[in-house]
Amino acid sequence: MVQPKVTIRFEVNGEPVEAAFASHKTLLEVLREDLGLTGTKHGCELGECGTCTVLLDGVPVLSCLVLAAACGGRRVRTVEGLARGPELHPLQRAFADLGAAQCGYCTPGFLLAAEALLAANPRPSREDIEQALAGNLCRCTGYHKIYQAVELAAAWMRGETAEPDTEVLYGRG
Amino acid sequence: MGADSAPRAHRVIGRALRKVDAVAKVTGATKFADDLSLPRMLYAKLLRSPHPHARLVRLDPSGALALPGVQAILTGRDLPTPFGILPVSQDEHALALDRVRFVGDPVAAVAAVSEDVAIAALDRIAVEYEPLPAITSAEEAVQRAAPRIHDYGDGGNLHKLIHLEFGDVEEGFREADLVVEDLLFYEGSTHLPMEQHAALADWSPDGRLTLWSSTQTPHYVHRALAKVLGLAPSRIRVIACPNGGGFGGKSDPFSHEIVVAKLAMVTGRPVKITLTREEVFYCHRGRHPTLMWVKTGVKRDGSITAMHFKSLLDGGGYGSYGVASTYYTGALQTVTYQVPRYKFQGARAFTNKPPCGPKRGHGTPQPRFALEVHLDKIAERLGMDPAELRLRHLVLPHTLTANYLRVGSMGLGRCIQQVVEGSGWREKFRRLPYGRGVGLACSSYLSGAGLPIYWNNMPHSGVQLKLDRGGGVTVFCGSTDIGQGSDSILAYITAEVLGVDPLDVRVVTADTDLTPVDLGSYSSRVTLMSGNAVLQAAERARDLLRGPAAQRLGVPPQQLVFADGRVFDAADPGRGLSFAEAVELAEAAGGTVGTVGSYTPPAAAGRYRGAGVGPSPAYSYTAAVAEVEVDPETGVVTVPRIWIAHDVGQCINRAAVVGQIEGSVYMGLGEALMEEMAYRANRNVVHRAPSMLEYKSPTTLEMCDVITYLIEDPDPNGPFGAKEVGQGPLLPVPPAIANAVYDAVGVRVDEVPITPEKVLKAIKAKAKGESGRVGPTRFPEIPWPEPIRVPPPWAGGDGQAISGEARRPAEFKTRKSDLSAVGGGGS
């Protein structure tokens, strides 16, 4: 069962990449299996959980539903492309500081969905965040620390010197 | 960050620090099991039964073997040794020998050069089944003794029957001013971890096997592999990868783990398997659907005179943790409110559905739902505020319960007061307009099971500590991080004791070759048990460093302080050494510096059969108030807010504690309103919705606000006083919501999930003058064994039974036939 391969050139995390793969492969599979970018996870491979979210030309997509062969000439951004060199992206920093990643499996998808939100809306309301992340399931956190991390990162990205809310970190009582 | 606002009694403990793996998780660097690959790796797939119950007549893999790229095929005969998580339920086979017991039961395995080839090969395996009648519900299993799904257990299709009596409940009912009976049902649900189970096996020609797996219990997988593969445990290395969520769903040794190990041995190549989401729904081991009947006698002041509780669990096709789950449905009723006389009857049935096991709260959310709804009704009948009723009759700290559970610290009263005050309970309860309501419920959970899963008298958790000349410290521990932060707990406690930065501590965990045994991430045991083990190891290391450092500094050893990366004189802080220098001195004086620590829970107080399930070194306590809005036109329940207070003993990391509570509320909300493992009984017992789209779980749009209060009532058995937080806070959420629905619209939905159809049905019934209750109507007759009678402590009991013990339990009697039965089919 040697399957014919297609070759595409595209940009992944700012670098030009050429990849050859069986034509039926999804972007998720090519990222993980052909390019070794295992930071992008899979939870269902049916477009139901949001775990495999990446940015395609800046737009969040479910990489399990995108045919990789259709990505020629396009820009893909994955969790591996969020940090600038050794410096974490503000969203990554906020997720780490607030404990917004528990098991961490859904985290890459949330980070990219949030990155797209903040690119379009630097000052999102809580409801905007809930709407933007409604397609990403998380079974660990109950979502609140994720909202708070997005809000904190948004403030940092606007150049504000925000601190984590102590009630978020310490609860009450 | 945020350090100044933290309590300063400790330097590290209690602060909201980043977890040690936080950066790896936010950068995508964490390697989950399916992220691993090895050169020449093969891919495995399992062929699964399409029948809920059938005899395996013939299996011909020749067509698949002929497919180019197929490297090996296994069938049941290649792995004939049974296994199972509990010694009393060794009823599973990696691949069916001659019977399948649920849709999804694995019958054959393929290893091929790609997943595509492996999938294609599955279609070419010819299997002939002879279908058998399927048992589709626990009630049906009670009625129908044949065909027997297993040839062991307590008769017919009843896997386990329990009957325990602590004092004369009938006497208690006679003394009561009011006796109330209720029937409730808790639907099964599944863990739905975001990560599907995956495992990678590698076999070396020198006879060593390595398995990487998304498991919560590498030690038990290690044992199961040794047993089924017939290898010496010393030649098997099991590495638990960080779990992408567990919640109990990765606590059993699984077929796929054994299969890839065997395939690696057969092919001489690494073999990986990753389950599909649909397969995860079928292998599952989630919450048991549980029917419950409860009868309680109370005095006018709300004090309980006696309680009688019955449960019937739908166990699915195999034993799994089911015997323990069944005991757990009757164990913890006694640790919240004083119950002077208590009787429990529990039954687990085999059915032809995916086996159930432990899900967050393991066997206790169901009875807690029943009990807390039941108490809400009792409070109303007595004309009492439900918060007041509970507050008046709390179990006292440091006492024994009727069933001989030893309660230590007990902060439930403070929890109740906190949520009553925070939620404005007194202004809201029975006072909100129609359609809006509040409900209250409480709970308790274990900080680790008091007994191991297999009988042994060794520690439950072990730690080795290695101190490096450079000042670095490495902790080796078998515990498994499933996202709850157990790796971080090891680092924080080490850093606190040795006075170093948590980032100077490297944590090596969950590797049976490198790390001392920790029994696993289940029963909320890890913070308390591995925490105590690492505390002991770190204190021993501190003692090793003390002498040489004291000698060098010329101060008495006990006067030295370990803090801020230094070892110094308490009387003259300027007089000191760096931590690294202290390690060098100790190494020069006594050789390589390392210590060990371990933890064994205290002995249980109960000495009757069944006393092993329920004891814990410490119990956490939780109280919650839920506010709901019910649309009387549609029956839709929305939950805007939940106030929750949890007695965690002592936070090790406050942010992580809050995170566990919010996550527990989330999961409880899902179970209360939408999550259900439903099967099409008349359509081959297939799962109604084995996908993340159709199995409804809360998204950001359904999640409620959570107002979290932390109550710290340190327990003498916990490290720094810490108790559990990972599971307990789920428990009060479903009953609090059910009680709030009643407060909102005056109807009782005595089962979860509380779906719009049920609410609407109840509202319509009430409008017609009917009862306004939806829920089960009957608890079936079950052939209970004679009770094991144990007088409570206050009735002169010493923890031993006075009758009923003569009857040896069936699983021991039928042990031999058990093994032959699974081999021989039976029925």
Backbone angles phi, psi at B208, to 5 degrees: -115, 140
Estimate to the nearest angstrom the gap between the alpha carbon of B253 and the chain centroid: 15
* Biggest CA pair distance of chain B: 88
Binary contact (A171, B658; C-beta < 8 A): yes
Closest by Cβ to A101, choosing from B25, B246, B699: B25
Q: Taking CB atoms and an 8 Å limit, are B245 and A130 in contact across chains?
A: no
Q: Do B26 and A107 touch (CB under 8 A)?
A: yes
- Using the Cβ of A77 and the Cβ atoms of chain B, whether some distance falls under 8 Å is answered with no
Report which secondary-structure segment, H or E, holds B508: strand B505-509
Taking residues B300-318, report their average pLDDT: 98
* Chain B from 794 to 823: CB within 8 A of any A CB: none
Burial (CB count <10 Å: 0-12, 13-18, 19+), residue B655: buried
Residue B223 phi/psi, 5-degree rounding, is -65, -40
B69: closest chain A residue by CA: A1
Q: Name residues 574-603 of chain B within 8 A of A (Cβ).
A: none
pLDDT for B682: 78
Contact B659 A43 (CB under 8 A): no
Q: What is the mean pLDDT of residues B66-79?
A: 98
Is it true that the peptide bond before B735 is cis, omega within 30 degrees of 0? Answer: no
Quote the tokens at residue B658.
Answer: 């809050």
Mean pLDDT (chain B) is 95
**CB-based contact (8 Å) between A95 and chain B?**
yes
CB contact under 8 A, A111 and B26: yes
pLDDT score at B683: 80
Which residues, in sequence order, are CB contacts of B583 under 8 Å at separation 6+?
Answer: B467, B468, B469, B471, B545, B593
Record the tokens describing residue B522, joined without a space.
């289940």
pLDDT classification of A173: cutoffs 50, 70, 90: low
- Record the pTM: 0.96
Q: Quick one: pLDDT at residue A2?
A: 66
Chain B, window 173-192: residues with a beta carbon less than 8 angstroms from a chain A beta carbon = 191-192
Give the mutation candidate from B5, B13, B18, B27 for the A interface (greatest A CB count, under 10 A): B27
Q: Tell me which amino acid residue B334 is.
A: T
Per-residue model confidence as pLDDT tens digits over A75-111: 999 999 999 999 999 999 999 999 999 999 999 999 9
Q: Does the beta carbon of B39 lie under 8 angstroms from any beta carbon of chain A? A: no
- Between positions 328 and 347 of B, the ones with CB within 8 A of A are none
B166: three-class secondary structure by DSSP: strand
> HEC string of B297-324?
EECCCCCEEEEEEEEEEECCCCCCCHHH
Residue type, B63: G
Single out the residue of B347, B320, B330 nearest to residue B138, CA to CA: B347
- Calpha distance B135→B149 (Å, rounded): 8
pLDDT digits 0-9 by tens, B449-465: 999 999 999 999 999 99
Provide the pLDDT for residue B526.
Answer: 97
From chain A, the residues in CB contact with B116 under 8 A are: 1, 3
Q: Is the pLDDT of residue B182 over 70?
A: yes
Report the distance separating Cα B601 and Cα B460, nearest Å.
8
A1–B68: do the CB atoms touch at under 8 Å?
yes
State residue A1's pLDDT score: 56
Q: From CA B412, how far away is CA B760, in angstroms rounded? A: 34
Helices A107-120 and A90-98: angle between axes, nearest 10 degrees: 130
Residue B808, pLDDT > 50, answer no
Q: Pick the closest to residue A26 from A16, A15, A35, A14 (CA basis).
A: A35
pLDDT on residue B770: 95
> What is the DSSP annotation of B621-689?
EEEEEEEEEE-TTT--EEEEEEEEEEE-SS-SSHHHHHHHHHHHHHHHHHHHHT----EETTTTTEES-
Classify the complex by whether its ipTM is higher than 0.95, answering yes or no: yes
Write down the pLDDT at residue B373.
98
Per-residue tokens: B395: 């179990």
DSSP one-letter code for B128: E
Under DSSP, the state recorded for A88 is P
Q: Are residues A99 and B697, on separate chains, in Cβ contact within 8 Å? A: no
Per-residue DSSP letters for B432-475? SPTTEEEEEEEEEEESS-SS-SS---S-SEEEEEEE-TTS-EEE
Residue B753: cis peptide before it, omega within 30 degrees of 0: yes
Query: Count of A–B CB contacts within 8 Å?
Result: 219
Confidence of residue A170 (pLDDT cuts 50, 70, 90): confident
